[in-house]
Amino acid sequence: MTAAWPGRVQALVTAVVARAVLSLPGPVVALLAGRPPAAARGLHPEALLLARLARLAPGRMDDRVPVAEQRRLLALSALPMAARPRLPVAVSDHEIPPAPGSAVPIGARLYVPGGAPAPGPLLVFFHGGGWVQGSVATHDGSCRLLAHLAGVRVLSVDYRLAPEHPYPAAVHDAVAAYAWAAREAGRLGADPARLAVGGDSAGGNLAAVLARAARDDDALPAAAFQLLIYPACDLAHKAPSVRDYADGWFLTEHGMDWYVGHYVPDPARRAEPDASPLLAGDLRGLPPAYVATCLTDPLRDEGEAYAAALRAAGVAVGAQRFGQLHGCFNTTVLRSSRDALATMAGALRQGLDAAR
């Protein structure tokens, strides 16, 4: 365990230094960031500088480092990058019964913004981290801010992680958590007719899969809205953006290979719709969606392809590309990331208001 400390210290120090540098006045940040390469034209200077600083951090997808330690490194890196203003949001932790076939209870954290009506809409949210890393804790600051800005309850779910619990364990937990939220709507102050699903990255993948499961299962209420933040939508193929932004933009091609390899170790199963929602045969009848993507993100093209596929299936879709890096939902210490999150929160609120 002693050998792990240098990596942990490096991860924390790098994030603290990045936070300090990125808090400098905008013109200074732009000067330090420099001119972006042609493929990143339009990237916000804060995001460009963060990408340059992130290269100093220890690798987070290194097979020589145990997965449990990788999770600690991500948690240490994430903490300084999240804004933590005092917000009128009430927070409570809950335990959801295990999914069928599992013996592991599912943790969840409920965020209730001040003044939220009861019953009111509820977003069932799934964190990113490649199905291997991340937790309710790593996304705490961002979920608080999302709940506050949208004026919507957020239930953040701690689903089981790979490789200890490979695909489809996370999908089963997502369905179980959503079913529990519907059953316990009254206790949660939620309107069961206005349950939304959402998540970032791997969590966006789970939210998209869950929306289809809720459509097809008569025992579940249909979701009212989808908030898909740079979702992973196709684990079986590599879109051009994977190659275009393979390295140097926080999430890397190697990182995605590492995540997918742990989550769905059998390549033959990666084309299953519950792993790759873009490959589902029928997207008709799914709830309205807002799909956010980032300019220099390897997942950009598949997220935008999913938005286009939803639209072609007759689903109402809003899609927006931000001049940000993958992970901007969690880097709210940046003014530009907070602005992006505020836009996402507005889309969530508007979508749920329309579901009345």
Q: Do the strands 106-113 and 89-96 form a parallel or antiparallel pair, or are they unpaired?
A: antiparallel
Of 191, 200, 234, 297, which residue is the catalytic one?
Answer: 297
How does DSSP classify residue 167? T
Question: Helix, strand or coil for residue 294?
Answer: strand
How does DSSP classify residue 146? H
b/e map of 220-238 (b: 16 or more CB within 10 Å)? bbebbbbbbbbbbbbbbeb
Question: Please, which residues bridge with residue 94 across strands?
Answer: 108
DSSP 66-107: -HHHHHHHHHHHHHHHS-----SEEEEEEEEPPPTT----EE
- Smallest CA-to-CA distance from 295 within 329, 332, 260, 320 is with 320
Would residue 172 show up in a list of annotated catalytic residues for this protein? no
Would residue 326 show up in a list of annotated catalytic residues for this protein? yes
Of 201, 241, 336, 337, which residue is the catalytic one?
Answer: 201
What would the two tokens of residue 285 be?
């009848």
Of 77, 326, 336, 337, which residue is the catalytic one?
Answer: 326
Would residue 254 show up in a list of annotated catalytic residues for this protein? no
Which residues are CB-contacts of 185 (< 8 A; sequence separation ≥ 6)? 119, 122, 191, 192, 195
Give the residue numbers annotated as catalytic, written as ranges.
201, 297, 326
